[in-house]
Structure 1
């Protein structure tokens, strides 16, 4: 039904209706994975990636020792490497 509503809106208004094309909630995560992949290629360390992704407040010693922050960056690195190794194809299929 949604494709038909999109077609009708396009025919009526001669442009795409933004309300009929909602954003993907995972898009922020995909953008972060791309940024991590670019950083890895450039030779950035995990702390460099954390600082860029989550702000300069990460620079203090307490935040740097945070296990949750370290785990988040490591997960992003793992997912970015998997995506670069061919995982992006799954996005195109589904």
Structure 2
């Protein structure tokens, strides 16, 4: 009479618990607040913000250039003429306005 022994219930529960714990930590590593998907999302947001920063820095540089060109130390007559026309709405006698 050979008797087949089945695994004890304690060892089955132990391994089942370890598998569940491993699955939980795997899920947390991928989907959690500090997981892989969150990291990818933060990196993408960082790239978008760096692109926006570069655009804003270019706009600031353009505005600084215009400000310098209208300063007392450096006067760009073409830019001054353009600004005066925009603000005052005036034209020269030899120009034609098309609306």
Q: Which range, TM-score by smaller chain?
A: under 0.3
Give the structure-1-normalised TM-score. Answer: 0.25
Higher relative contact order, chain-length normalized (CA < 8 Å, sep 6+) = 1
Give the structure-2-normalised TM-score. Answer: 0.24
Higher Cα radius of gyration: 2
